[in-house]
Structure 1
Amino acid sequence: MDLVILGAGGKLARLLRPLFPRKARWFARADVDIHDTAALRVALRDADAVICMAGVTNASAQPLHMNTDIAVRTLDAAQDVSAGRVILLSSAAVYGVTAGVCTEDGPTAPNSEYGKAKLVMESAAAQHPHPNTVLRLGNVAGADAILAGWVPGFRLDQLPDGSTPCRSYIGPNALARTLLQLSEATALPPLLNVAAPGCIQMGALLDAARLEWRPKPAAAATIPSVNLDTTRLRMFTEFKSSDSTPMGIVEDWQNRQS
């Protein structure tokens, strides 16, 4: 199977590449500029599957609407050379302040410009004729603002009930395995939540990693919980019970060479 992965220079790809369970063709922007149509077609020729990790975040110099442009250009090139299914990365940020468990067919309510931009990208992908699946990715240990963003004196929002914000998480090894299995699947739905089952309090995650933190009152805009429903995902991959525990996620993150 010929697997192509775009966006190799990004934070997530740099985290996952050493862990990826099989050989793939990785392309950073220095190798293939997605805006160079001819070069992109050459890169995707003969690909049985394509994972596009390229994208624009709040920290990027490019405007957020470029996420849609990147997705459409990738899908256009894949269609032009008859490549296989394209897997695009969206974000749990599209759910925003959605209450309860977030399902792929349920409501979205992004409260950030990033989440809104990803939702627009999803819409463009859904309308494209080339086969594609959009992954609404939860927090990834090691590419997040908690474990990866920790510094001495770290302060974390504490909700009025004494808890800390709860998020769906996945460790980098578990994510690498999941992405490979999805790329090899013969029939994927157009939309999938991607995270380990369950919801992890951020304070518990820091405690498991033995990273000291101090609470601060949560701001009014703080989202208490983003809990992704992974029922659909688990039709294509399996998780160990430890994948859903603070310690298991921390150990996955710390064991980045496994």
Structure 2
Amino acid sequence: MQFPQIFVTGATGRIGRMLQHFWAASAIGEGVRWQARRPQADRSLDWAVFDPLDGNAGRALAEAARGRDVILCLGGVTPERAAQADGCMTDNTALAKAAVRAGAETGARVLLTSSAAIYGSRTGLLSETMAPTPVSDYGRAKADMEEACVKLADRLGVRVTSLRIGNVAGADAILGNWRPGFALDRFPDGRTPRRSYIGPQTLARVLSDLCATPDLPAILNVAAPGVVEMGALLDAAGLDWTARPATGRAIAEVRLSVAMLERVTGFATADSQPEVMVAQRNRLTPGT
């Protein structure tokens, strides 16, 4: 396999740090350039340091992406950052559009990190053909980003794929934000909420496969097959939690269809097991 040359924007977030960890030991990692807003301590990586939202950053972004096959846009504003007044939700669109413009100038394909939050409170098997029905500010911001970038990409002739990523073990609200006294909804059938998940090492492999695949759909769900019960995930991590009766608004299951994804990359049965996802999370360096 010929590994692609990749430029990763927003590389200092949780997913970016995960990719740095797992790609460092693989052949694909040798061809990656990482973007950060400030100088980074790890000098072993190829860093491009600039603020992609600065008024003069368009040139810096295009130059950093020159010669790259793929621009992987991880840059975005999470609900946590927005709550800390460290970002505005509309920056999700601005960052993604900057990546698309760089793709137009350099000829690189663009992969945008979107979110399963686009599906809102819908239940059942959620496929890429469904229209977005977000209910949160974050989901609406990602839906707006997708729509704006489709229009821009069509106008500029750029190949763009939006990746609707499910929960990533360690960058989620369960493992990633666990605190003593953590409580989970329990439904009448005795189960806790079930969600589409993916382990960080599996995600790194999947993203490398997507970067190496020249023809991708415009939208792809990204998760391991099936769903994971949140209580089982915390149990696998050895983290205490208490059960509380689920209210009528609680959603028992959110399951992403990964049929399209599985045409591009494969999964082992173990990839969907909570114990394996927790083990992958535990391989990360502290603070990742």
TM-score normalized by the length of structure 1? 0.94
Choose which of 7, 11, 14 in structure 2 pairs with 1:4: 7
Larger mean CA deviation between 178-187 and 16-25 belongs to 16-25
Aligned length: 256
Amino acid of the structure 2 residue aligned with 1:211: L
Q: Does structure 2 retain, via aligned residues, the 8 Å contact 1:32–1:43?
A: no
Partner of 2:87: 62
Partner of 2:143: 119
Amino acid of the structure 2 residue aligned with 1:44: A
Choose which of 30, 33, 51 in structure 1 pairs with 2:51: 33
Choose which of 168, 181, 204 in structure 2 pairs with 1:153: 181
Amino acid of the structure 2 residue aligned with 1:124: A
In 2: Cα distance, 1:29 partner to 1:166 partner:
36
Partner of 2:160: 132
CA shift at 1:161, angstroms?
3.2
Larger mean CA deviation between 216-225 and 118-127 belongs to 216-225
**Against the structure 1 CA distance between its residues 98 and 108, is the aligned structure 2 distance closer, same or farther, given a 3 Å change threshold?**
farther
Choose which of 97, 107, 131 in structure 2 pairs with 1:72: 97
Q: Is 1:47–2:68 an aligned residue pair?
A: yes
In 2: Cα distance, 1:160 partner to 1:149 partner:
25
Partner of 1:244: 272
In 2: Cα distance, 1:40 partner to 1:219 partner:
47
Amino acid of the structure 2 residue aligned with 1:33: D
Partner of 2:42: none
In 2: Cα distance, 1:114 partner to 1:156 partner:
22
* SS in structure 2 of the partner of residue 226 of structure 1: strand
Partner of 2:110: 86
Amino acid of the structure 1 residue aligned with 2:89: L
In 1: Cα distance, 2:19 partner to 2:251 partner:
27
CA shift at 1:81, angstroms?
2.6
* SS in structure 1 of the partner of residue 276 of structure 2: helix
Partner of 1:165: 193
Q: How does 1:170-185 map to 2 (within 5 A)?
A: 170-185=198-213
Runs of 4+ in 1 over 6 A off after TM superposition: none
Larger RCO: Structure 1 or Structure 2 (Cα < 8 Å, ≥ 6 residues apart)? 1
In 1: Cα distance, 2:123 partner to 2:79 partner:
24
Q: Output one character per residue of 1:123-157: Cα deviation in whole Å (capped at 9) or x when no partner.
A: 11222231110000000001111112112221112
Q: Is 1:187–2:215 an aligned residue pair?
A: yes
CA shift at 1:252, angstroms?
2.0
Partner of 2:125: 101
TM-score normalized by the length of structure 2? 0.85
Backbone CA RMSD of aligned residues: 1.4
Q: Output one character per residue of 1:3-29: Cα deviation in whole Å (capped at 9) or x when no partner.
A: 111111112211221111322111112
* SS in structure 1 of the partner of residue 172 of structure 2: coil
